[in-house]
Amino acid sequence: MATARRERYRKQTREEAKAVALAQLAESGTAGISVNAIAKAMGMTGPALYRYFASRDELLTELITDTYRDLAETLAQAVADAAPADRFRAMARALRDWAKRQPDRYLLIYGTPVPGYHAPPETAEIAAGMMRTIFEACSAVGDSVGDSVGDSVGDADGGADGGGATAHGATASHGPQPLTELEAELARHLEGVDSWVPGEQPGGELKGRALRTWTRLHGVISLDVQGQFAGMGFDPSVLFEAEIDALVRGG
Amino acid sequence: MATARRERYRKQTREEAKAVALAQLAESGTAGISVNAIAKAMGMTGPALYRYFASRDELLTELITDTYRDLAETLAQAVADAAPADRFRAMARALRDWAKRQPDRYLLIYGTPVPGYHAPPETAEIAAGMMRTIFEACSAVGDSVGDSVGDSVGDADGGADGGGATAHGATASHGPQPLTELEAELARHLEGVDSWVPGEQPGGELKGRALRTWTRLHGVISLDVQGQFAGMGFDPSVLFEAEIDALVRGG
DNA sequence: CGCGGTTGTGAGAGCTTCTAACCAAACAAT
DNA sequence: ATTGTTTGGTTAGAAGCTCTCACAACCGCG
């Protein structure tokens, strides 16, 4: 542990740079993040920062993975802290609260993808972890309410082929972008989730419920965060709560 | 009529520039749109284009309003063409088809807002028109199914104050950004919609249904278009249809 | 102490938006 | 037909960006 000082200092300035970048993101959007400006704000010249980040994209990537991790942890924490009966609501509200507290970071991961940027493998892993948390919360709602209606969303239209290499083949056929390694990774993680939920068939009811939960919550959160509700004369949080209720009722 | 040639030519090159910009958008995202590159592709130097567009932002704005108009017309057309009983499904499918056919344009209006960009007044007007179409489709679903359950989403939490200057005051209090004229305009249009639907109270059941329709459809479409479903081993269109069913059933 | 890797600097290439000055062609009017 | 004005295009240049390179300064280790 001799030269640990160097590394500590290095990590420290990296962290500082990311903090400044986050501030720039908050006030000027993704495109407002400038390596030069960050360096200047830190009291050094532009090219110096390239000793710490290979490129602007690498900095953005790190910002994104950090954000993913933060959100995933927040959600998991909310679920862990809540009583089993409240887990679903706790998860949903934690998601919205987090997004409203830092809209730019929400848009950073769920907004328009950065031009040349392609998500690194770590992202898929963390995203899968988040899906796991949502699954957990969804299965918790079953405990408190009972699985009521439940149309299977996964296997209607010649739907989700059984286990095994499911996602691999299926995705390659209809997916807009080619199947990358990270996506295969995510698929593996999701299969793990499928088999992890007791008594849950791949593509079954619970998966559909989790998917709907994800898309519906994202629907109101993303529109809200982007200000699309502005001037419409209603409280987005009321709409959000209504969606939670609908989901709990088993829609 | 005399100098109409000039204007015709002018409009023509503006249109050509926008077409090239759209092509650039499709392959490089929003940030990939470059005035210089467009001009070069049209066979002239960069600054020449500034005779036609005051700034890059103005070009983007025009792209956005065009897109809004296109989508609004597509939706309205789909609703008009369908039998009353099928109007809701037709509207929803038209929305998704349009988005899947040109993902970048969908993200252009519903993705992360462009850094410095602020929507022009026309946008609000067209957006209100789109909401009208959704309303129309939602009221049509009432004809074929009956209004079933229906929790009022607009007026729970001290909810939507009655008519008059509703949206104005309400939005200023909780909206993230300040109330601009265009937002007030949108609010007025929405109030018009409220009173336009026969027997509908402001903030009533139908408004909640339309809002939920919007957010849910956007939820699955936006995640799909951004490739967030990649590698998950299911068909997004099945999920979309399931959401349509849930909405029809009165969720 | 001295040696070596790490960190910072300034210069500069190549890109961007956008302004300024200048020139030519097309239209309008006397 | 010869003016004058408006419009479309050019090159030059400012200010910004990312990113590379060569060089100097420092910090820690032996």
Q: Report the pLDDT value the prediction gives residue A231, as an integer from 0 to 100.
A: 75
CA of A116 to C1' of D19 (A): 16
Decide if domain A55-248 falls under CATH 1.10.357.10. Answer: yes
Higher pLDDT, B120 or A190: B120
| Chain B hits for A202, Cβ within 8 Å | 233
Q: Percent of chain A beyond pLDDT 90?
A: 51
* Contact present, A138 and A207 (Cβ < 8 Å): no
CA angle at A228 for the pair A226 and A234, rounded to the nearest 5°? 120
Helix axes B236-248, A205-225, angle to 10 degrees: 80
For A247-251, what is the mean pLDDT?
79
Cβ contacts (< 8 Å) between B239 and chain A: which residues?
153, 208, 211-212, 215
B:187-246 residues touching chain A, CB 8 A cutoff: 187, 190-191, 202-203, 207-208, 211-212, 214-220, 222-223, 226-239, 241-243, 245-246
Please identify residues in chain B, positions 2-61, with a C-beta within 7 angstroms of any atom of strand D: 6, 9-10, 13, 39, 43-48, 51-52
Nucleotides of chain D within 7 Å of a protein C-beta? 7-13, 16-22, 27-30
Tokens matching residue B247: 């909405």
Q: Which fold would CATH assign to domain B58-248?
A: Tetracycline Repressor; domain 2 (1.10.357)
Whether pLDDT at A200 is above 90:
no
Q: Say if residue A126's pLDDT is above 90.
A: no
Give the whole-angstrom CA distance, residue A80 versus residue B30: 40
Per-residue pLDDT reduced to its tens digit, A91-124: 999 999 999 999 999 999 998 876 556 677 778 8
| Of residues B56, B122, B54, B96, the one with CA closest to residue B214 | B96
More confidently predicted of B152 and A47: A47
SS3 of B60, please? Answer: helix
Helices then strands, counting H and E runs in chain B, come out as 10, 0
Candidates 1.10.3470, 2.30.29, 1.10.10, 2.60.40; CATH matching A1-53: 1.10.10
Question: Which pLDDT score is estimated for B43?
Answer: 97
Ramachandran area for residue B134 (φ above 0: left; ψ -120 to 50: alpha; else beta): alpha
Interval B2-60: pLDDT, tens: 577 888 999 999 999 999 999 999 999 888 999 999 999 999 999 999 999 999 999 99
Residue in chain A lying closest to B26 (CA): A115
User: Nearest chain A Cα to B116, which residue?
Assistant: A28
CA distances A83 to A133, A145, A206, Å, are 15, 14, 20
Q: SS3 for B145-183, per residue?
A: HCCCCCCCCCCCCCCCCCCCCHHHHHHHHHCCCCCCHHH
Return the CA Rg of chain A: 21
B174-202 pLDDT per residue, tens: 333 434 444 444 455 555 554 444 444 44
User: Residue A186: which of B153, B231, B235 has the nearest Cβ?
Assistant: B231
* Residue B2 confidence (pLDDT): 53
Whether A48 has its CB under 8 Å from any CB of chain B: the answer is no
CA distance B167 to chain A (A): 4
Exposure of A47 in the CB half-sphere (CA atoms within 13 A)? 0
Could B218 and A223 be called an inter-chain contact, meaning their C-beta atoms sit closer than 8 Å?
A: yes
Distance set, CA A84 to CA A94, A135, B90 (Å):
15, 13, 40
Domain ranges within chain A, ordered by starting residue:
1-53, 55-248
Q: Which residue of A has its CA nearest to B160?
A: A234
> Would you say the C-alpha torsion B99, A186, A162, A244 has a positive or negative sign?
negative
Query: What length is written for chain A?
Result: 251
Q: Please report the pLDDT score of residue B191 as a whole number.
A: 56
Measured CA to CA, the distance from residue B86 to residue B76 in angstroms comes to: 13
| Mean local confidence (pLDDT), B93-121 | 86
